[in-house]
Amino acid sequence: MNQLAHESSPYLLQHAKNPVDWYPWNDEALARAQEEDKMIIVSVGYAACHWCHVMEHESFEDSTVAALMNEHFISIKVDREERPDIDNIYMTACQLSSQRGCGWPLNAFALPDGRPVWAGTYFPKDQWLRILQNFIDEKANNRDQLEEYAAQLTQGIQSTENLVKVSSASALDPDQIRRWNLEMYELIDFRRGGRKGAPKFAMPGMFEYLLEQNQYAQDPKALEAVEALTDNMASGGIYDQVGGAFARYSVDSQWMVPHFEKMLYDNGQLLSLYAHAYQLNGNKDYLRIIDQTIGFMQDEWMHESGGFYSSYDADSEGEEGKYYVWSYEELENHIPQEHFDAFVDYYNIRKTGNWEGHNILHADQPLDQIAKKHGFTATDLRSAFDGSLKSLKELRTSRVKPGLDEKILSSWNGLAITGLVDAYRATQKSEYLELAKRCAAFVRKDMIKKDHSLYRNHKDGKSVINGFLDDYANIIRAWIQLYQVTYDKNWLDEGNLMMQYCIDNFVDEETDMFYYTDKNNPELIARKYEVMDNVIPGSNSVMAHNLYDLGTYLDLQEYKDQARQMLDNVMPELSQSTFFYNWCRLYLRLLHPVFEVAVVGPEAEQMTRDLQRNYQGDVLFLGSKAEGELSLLEGKYQEGMTMIYVCQNKVCKLPVDNVEAASEVLKAERQRRTL
Any idea which of 50-54, 76-80, 290-294 has the lowest mean pLDDT? Answer: 50-54
Q: Kindly indicate the confidence band of residue 144, based on its pLDDT and cuts at 50, 70 and 90.
A: very high
Q: What is the pTM of this model?
A: 0.96
**Where are the strands (E) in 62-209, listed by range?**
73-79, 106-110, 116-120, 200-201
Render pLDDT for 604-650 as a digit per residue (tens, 0 to 9).
999 999 999 999 999 999 999 998 999 999 999 999 999 999 999 99
pLDDT, average across residues 378-403: 96
Looking at residue 99, what is its pLDDT?
65
Distance of CA 462 to the CA centre of its chain: 24
Q: Residue count of the chain, please give it.
A: 675
Q: Which residues contact 386 (CB under 8 A, 6 or more apart)?
A: none
pLDDT of residue 576: 78
Q: Specify the pLDDT at position 100.
A: 66
Mean pLDDT along residues 393-402: 96
Give the span between the Cα atoms of 458 and 461, in whole angstroms.
Answer: 7
Q: Residue by residue, what is the 3-state secondary structure of 613-635?
A: CCCCCCEEEEEECCCCCCHHHCC
CA 412-438-292 angle, 5° bins: 65
Confidence tier at 168 by pLDDT (50, 70, 90): confident
**How large a percentage of the chain has pLDDT more than 70?**
99
Q: How confident is the model at residue 575, as a pLDDT?
A: 78
Residue 574 is predicted with a pLDDT of: 84
Strands (E), 384-526: 404-405, 408-409, 455-459, 462-466
Considering the chain, what percentage of its residues have pLDDT values greater than 90?
Answer: 92
What is the average pLDDT across 544-551? 98
Helix (H) or strand (E) segment spanning residue 391? helix 378-396
Does residue 675 surpass a pLDDT of 60?
no
662 and 646 in contact (C-beta within 8 Å)? yes
CA–CA separation, 169 and 563 (whole Å): 12
Over residues 438-451, mean pLDDT: 98
* DSSP line for 270-284: HHHHHHHHHHHH--H
**DSSP 8-state class, residue 648:** E
Distance separating alpha carbons of residues 94 and 101, to the nearest angstrom? 8
Q: How far apart are alpha carbons 301 and 244 in whole angstroms? A: 12
- pLDDT over 90 at 569, yes or no: yes
Q: Is pLDDT above 80 for 101? A: no
Phi, psi of 79 (to 5 degrees): -85, 110
**3-state secondary structure string across 93-110:** HHHHHCCCCCCCCEEEEE
First CA to last CA distance, the chain: 62
Mean of pLDDT over the chain: 95
pLDDT value, residue 573? 85
Residue 340 contacts residue 391 (beta carbons within 8 Å): no
Q: How far apart are CA 272 and CA 419, in angstroms?
A: 5
One-letter amino acid of 526: A
Mean pLDDT of 138-157: 95
146: number of Cβ within 10 Å? 20
Name the nearest CA neighbour of 218 among 186, 271, 187, 181.
181
Prior bond of 199 cis (ω within 30°)? yes
Q: What tens digit of pLDDT does each residue of 228-278 get?
A: 999 999 999 999 999 999 999 999 999 999 999 999 999 999 999 999 999
Q: What is the pLDDT of residues 176-222, one digit of tens each?
A: 999 999 999 999 999 999 999 999 999 999 999 999 999 988 889 99
Q: Are 647 and 618 in contact (CB under 8 A)?
A: no
Separation of alpha carbons 151 and 146, rounded Å? 9
The confidence score (pLDDT) of residue 674 equals: 63
Q: Between the CA of residue 345 and those of 181, 351, 367, 371, 538, what are the distances in Å?
A: 38, 12, 10, 10, 41
Among residues 599, 602, 669, the alpha carbon closest in space to that of 633 is found at 599
- Return d(Cα 591, Cα 548) in angstroms, integer: 13
